[in-house]
A and B are shown apart, each in its own frame.
Chain A
């Protein structure tokens, strides 16, 4: 059955209006020029769309962790404000934000298990508890992988992780689990959009696969440049999808012996040519890939009249905005000069 998703023009218009309130380059420059988290919080409270969320916050006393948590919650609530606007949240596709949040919680749990730490509770996004398929308070009490599997038994994540085992030290292969969970998430989205019209489904799939291509490139680049891993090791942690980078092309890039060769091979790809057209420094591969992801999301938001495409790209752009703010907070806390902070931003 085809789902007629193109009717929600009001949602598309609302999203574009909300996108109009995004942080500008001037906002970022202003934020990067501050010396403390308090000043950043004060600016966000007084001058940006985060103002309402931060209204009751005492910016002088605010802790960085609380600020980041509130900004994350703001984005999550924005998502529900959009999907509630014309009640479009009931279809499967619009669950992806919750599934993604659940995947992140499970991955966070795995990290704490591997680190043998019991402080996961502090970073849990408790605001998703009423939407989640499991209790976040309970998952925070888990201390081993076996307990986690038992806990997830009644959720779809059990089947995803059931073949994994912890080693003698209780550690589990985090990378493999992450690939499996992210693959599951992408599969769910692809399945959800298969009910849409062809053009709309293609649009969403293209966005997701472009994103996957670039995530894979970034991860492979890190493994080559920083850890000197070989092609076989790299392929193990690649998401098993490909967009404009064919499997053969991917293999060719991953088999690069060093960083310089990796960048050279990447520059010959479709994405590499785009980076060249954008006039970016080819050596700054990770930032270039993120700029491309930003460019695609902006283009999708600007050109598509589909609610699903708009929601997906808008939330992606909000995610980038949040990451930029977090980069600024980190930079300011560690006393990085504002010019250097601005160079890290994806805008």
Chain B
């Protein structure tokens, strides 16, 4: 990364910002915070002139329910913003008018449909409805009564009303109640208390049920056609204007975002100052972009030239490791001078996943699924699935497992004369668990060594030399493991000298890591809370370190656990297949494989990631870097 200073006359600022937003390799920093404060630099406080036209475009997109896409706007000859605003306002008004008409038509249609639904509940009524409602001495109400309330009607047997249901629909009875005019108030009160929902049959409903239904159906058809015409008209306007709107949006969004960069520019009188970072590989091309601007000077400096600015990080990875940068970014990027752990993650993740998901058939299916996900959906997990799937297939070859068939590859190995393969999982439970711990121990030791190298490089001596993940920790952990393995092999290793030098001494170093680190730096150490506090806190911390070594080591047993669980689950699938008829066997095998692949793939993926983050990263990686985010136009409609 190179630290870039760009200075020039403010008359050249706009073209400079255009270049920066188009070059795609410039990470911009707010210059006003870092330009010499006594030099009198200030910031540009101007209102972005493109906000209003973008808002107008936003209103049109929400009215027309469209989404703008980035488009080439180079063929827009006239860039008169006012003219464009006038055009957009006219379009907005036209659309709003059409939308209001469509809404009115929709409401009318709903009213007719509601009336139709009401009349449908009066099937069999052979009297003109308007005549029923115009009775002189009888009040008639139409509506629906909850089923529970209908059951309560016998309670009112002495009251002067009559409810006649026409239809029953789920929880309601639809019908009329009739009551003498003199009892109307009381009856209305009763029906109110019974939650009767009165419906007023619209004035446009005439005749008996049959006539009314015919008439309403015709009215609905007519209005639906009307409603659809409006929709078509709106669609045709939108369709015609959309390409131009995309271009206008791209043009003004680009100008808006470029103008917004001014907030990060420092200015003094007629001069401006811009700072940022450019990747080393792009620096020459970047410099060339300003060749023709005589008043603009570009100065490249080492990335750490400005002590206050932490350089951003752009991970460099090869084709194999690239997809795994997703996991590293998820945890946090490395600091600028830190180690890029992607390669380590790529190797360990692929290896661990493959060990746990060992099956030739399932591994290949996973690899193909990953490739398809990437090809058609551009899902970032796809390439990872391809890699770990292949790894699973390779280990499947070693285990001799193909879609759960554990004996399928036996003849192949026999014909090749390989006697030690396939490695039958279910017959080798103990070796698998021991191997899992051995892999874990190896990974932990490598992680500790990386931490030591990084610690010394960054002058973090306390951690690198005396920490639990430093030389002291390596000595302690390594010597315990060496001693344990040696003892198992019948060697006598734990002699008093061995214990004193390789076990007790590292423990003392870990206990005294802070005073010792100060001693290495040539500084005096003073315990903050007094000597008692120092002893107590360090005692418990060292105790926690010891527990950590044990639990972290055992944590890797899960590798063996998942190897076994994968094999066991497939064993269950095979056992189920034996229970069903011959015709159903392929179905059970296919569904069983899909199920195991889904469950195991998810579990193994998560567990491996857990091992990476908790057991590996925690030893040497802090993830406190800043991402490299080059300036670019964001074609998102939301503007602040």
User: Given A56-B171, A57-B171 in contact, is the A66-B152 Cβ separation under 8 Å?
Assistant: no
Report the stretch among B189-197, B267-275, B497-505 that lies at the interface: B189-197
Q: Nearest CB to that of B146 among chain A residues? A: A66
User: Given A58-B197, A119-B193 in contact, is the A137-B152 Cβ separation under 8 Å?
Assistant: yes
Picked from A57, A127, A137, A140, the residue with its CB within 8 Å of the CB of B148 is A127
- B residues in contact with A129, CB < 8 Å: 151
Interface centre among B154, B155, B193, by most chain A C-beta atoms within 10 angstroms, is: B155
A156 at the interface (CB under 8 A from B): no
Output the least CB separation between A120 and chain B (Å): 10
Please report the C-alpha to C-alpha distance between residue A73 and residue B194 in the assembled complex, in whole angstroms: 15
Picked from B154, B169, B193, the residue with its CB within 8 Å of the CB of A56 is B169
Output the least CB separation between A86 and chain B (Å): 27
Query: By DSSP majority rule, is chain A's interface helix, strand, loop, or mixed?
Result: loop
- B residues in contact with A327, CB < 8 Å: none
Q: Scoring A residues 249 to 276 as 1 if CB is less than 8 Å from chain B, else 0, what string do you get?
A: 0000000000000000000000000000
- B residues in contact with A65, CB < 8 Å: 195
Chain B residues numbered 552-582 whose CB sits less than 8 Å from any CB in chain A: none
Output the least CB separation between B142 and chain A (Å): 14
B170 at the interface (CB under 8 A from A): yes
- A residues in contact with B171, CB < 8 Å: 53, 56-57, 70
Q: Nearest CB to that of B151 among chain A residues? A: A126
User: Are B170 and A124 in contact, with the CB atoms below 8 A?
Assistant: no
A183 at the interface (CB under 8 A from B): no
B405 at the interface (CB under 8 A from A): no
Q: Nearest CB to that of B157 among chain A residues? A: A137
User: Given A65-B195, A141-B155 in contact, is the A73-B148 Cβ separation under 8 Å?
Assistant: yes
- A residues in contact with B154, CB < 8 Å: 137
A63 at the interface (CB under 8 A from B): yes
- A residues in contact with B169, CB < 8 Å: 56
A121 at the interface (CB under 8 A from B): yes
Output the least CB separation between B536 and chain A (Å): 29
- A interface residue count range (under 10 / 10 to 19 / 20 to 34 / 35 or more): 20 to 34
Q: Scoring A residues 9 to 46 as 1 if CB is less than 8 Å from chain B, else 0, what string do you get?
A: 00000000000000000000000000000000000000
Please report the C-alpha to C-alpha distance between residue A141 and residue B152 in the assembled complex, in whole angstroms: 12
Output the least CB separation between B591 and chain A (Å): 23
Q: Scoring A residues 63 to 75 as 1 if CB is less than 8 Å from chain B, else 0, what string do you get?
A: 1011001100100
User: Are B148 and A69 in contact, with the CB atoms below 8 A?
Assistant: yes
Please report the C-alpha to C-alpha distance between residue A127 and residue B146 in the assembled complex, in whole angstroms: 12
Please report the C-alpha to C-alpha distance between residue A73 and residue B151 in the assembled complex, in whole angstroms: 14
A55 at the interface (CB under 8 A from B): yes
Q: Nearest CB to that of B150 among chain A residues? A: A126
User: Are A140 and B155 in contact, with the CB atoms below 8 A?
Assistant: yes
B172 at the interface (CB under 8 A from A): yes
Q: Scoring A residues 134 to 149 as 1 if CB is less than 8 Å from chain B, else 0, what string do you get?
A: 0001001100000000
User: Are B194 and A122 in contact, with the CB atoms below 8 A?
Assistant: yes
Output the least CB separation between B147 and chain A (Å): 9
A1 at the interface (CB under 8 A from B): no
Chain B residues numbered 147-204 whose CB sits less than 8 Å from any CB in chain A: 148-149, 151-152, 154-155, 169-172, 193-195, 197
Please report the C-alpha to C-alpha distance between residue A83 and residue B149 in the assembled complex, in whole angstroms: 26
- B residues in contact with A115, CB < 8 Å: none
- B residues in contact with A66, CB < 8 Å: 146, 195
- B residues in contact with A127, CB < 8 Å: 148
A61 at the interface (CB under 8 A from B): yes
Q: Nearest CB to that of B153 among chain A residues? A: A137
Output the least CB separation between B34 and chain A (Å): 45
22 contacts between A and B (CB under 8 A): A53-B171, A55-B170, A56-B170, A56-B171, A56-B172, A61-B197, A63-B195, A66-B195, A73-B148, A119-B193, A121-B152, A121-B155, A122-B193, A122-B194, A126-B151, A126-B152, A127-B148, A129-B151, A137-B152, A137-B154, A137-B155, A140-B155
Q: A58-B197, A63-B195 are in contact. List 5 more A-B contacts (CB 8 A).
A: A56-B170, A65-B195, A70-B171, A124-B152, A126-B152
